[in-house]
Amino acid sequence: MILDLHMPGMTGLHVLQRLKQAGVQLPAIVITAYDEALDPQPCLAAGGRRLPAQALEDRLLLDAVAAAA
């Protein structure tokens, strides 16, 4: 699952946290187009992996998806 950190209504991190609370475990990557200094720990704790904005290049994103699977 690929989630955007900045989605309307609920952030990708909140979706990931809710899924974890519901007992749903899926490989997840949280992306953002913004290069903010966000602590990756909440994403990791919720079971996901956060990629920095520069990782949105095709090859890097595909590599991250392959690694998460």
Residue-wise pLDDT tens digits, 10-61: 888 889 889 989 999 888 888 777 766 566 777 777 777 766 665 566 777 7
Q: What is the CATH number of the domain that holds 9?
A: 3.40.50.2300
Closest CA to 37 of 49, 52, 47: 52
Q: Which residue has the higher pLDDT, 55 or 2?
A: 2
Six-digit token string for 52:
């920095």
Phi first, then psi: what are they for 34, rounded to 5°? -100, 135
Closest CA to 64 of 29, 39, 34: 29
Task: Give the model's pLDDT for residue 31.
Answer: 79
d(CA 31, CA 35): 10
- Count of structural domains, the chain: 1
Query: In terms of residue numbers, what domain contains 33?
Result: 2-68
Task: Give the model's pLDDT for residue 54.
Answer: 57
Task: Give the model's pLDDT for residue 48.
Answer: 74
